[in-house]
A and B are shown apart, each in its own frame.
Chain A
């Protein structure tokens, strides 16, 4: 082992010891970590609530759109004023179905 090897080993060990003492002085408390977990849990719940609300809004919007489409497509709504200016005979879609 040369003098340089020893110097290198000493320097390496010295630096690692210094780093270890820095890391050893870190104060990471258990309660802090638990607090963070609680925060994350609450944030997750909030996110879940928002997602559920968003999904419900989307479902509701789809239902409303479908109802509107059905209503607009029904002969009742299509009935209007004909080419001669007469109000065309309104057909009750649901009555027709029932008949």
Chain B
């Protein structure tokens, strides 16, 4: 089934077409979302919401971009919205949870988890465009050409953004790995 027919079938709310899209993209979107929010439950919720939105709002998809591009943009927007919401509303709750978790863990894993946590924070603190490219490239293993298409930039710009993202992460977490 070509993409145009697939989108037309989605607009008719055809369950087979919906399942096709779901099977093809849900795992990729989970990697992408997890790469941004770093939380399994949140990533699952986001991807589920993406497909609910696809079902509801497919009529508004004008096919000016690829379906995959559209899905990626929705997923990224939802992930960033959730991060923003969490930053504002859950600062204290998260501090409490992390303190409790740390108290329960033995020393050797604690240090490693701290490093991972530091890396996650450094990824989250990247400028948005760098974060998007980094997540798609490393977490979703997406080819740079496809990333360029989704971001609407040239291929060298993607390479540059990946390079800068790695540099910034390195600066944030320091040289002591």
Interface residues of A (CB under 8 A from B): 4, 7-8, 11-12, 15-16, 18-20, 22-24, 26, 28, 30, 32-34, 36-37, 40
Cβ of B175 within 8 Å of any chain A Cβ, yes or no, is: yes
How extensive is the interface on chain B, given as a class?
20 to 34
10 A–B pairs (Cβ distance < 8 Å), ordered by A: A8-B175, A15-B119, A16-B138, A23-B35, A23-B40, A24-B31, A28-B44, A33-B22, A34-B18, A40-B52
- Interface SS of chain B: helix, strand, loop or mixed? helix
Whether B43 lies near A23 (C-beta < 8 A) is yes
Cβ of B70 within 8 Å of any chain A Cβ, yes or no, is: no
Contacting residues, chain B, for A11 (C-beta < 8 A): 115, 119, 177
- Assuming A19-B139, A23-B33, A24-B30, what are 11 further A-B pairs, CB within 8 angstroms? A8-B177, A11-B115, A12-B138, A20-B139, A22-B34, A23-B34, A26-B34, A30-B23, A33-B51, A37-B56, A40-B56
Whether A16 lies near B52 (C-beta < 8 A) is no
Contacting residues, chain A, for B170 (C-beta < 8 A): 8
Cβ of B63 within 8 Å of any chain A Cβ, yes or no, is: no
Contacting residues, chain B, for A15 (C-beta < 8 A): 116, 119
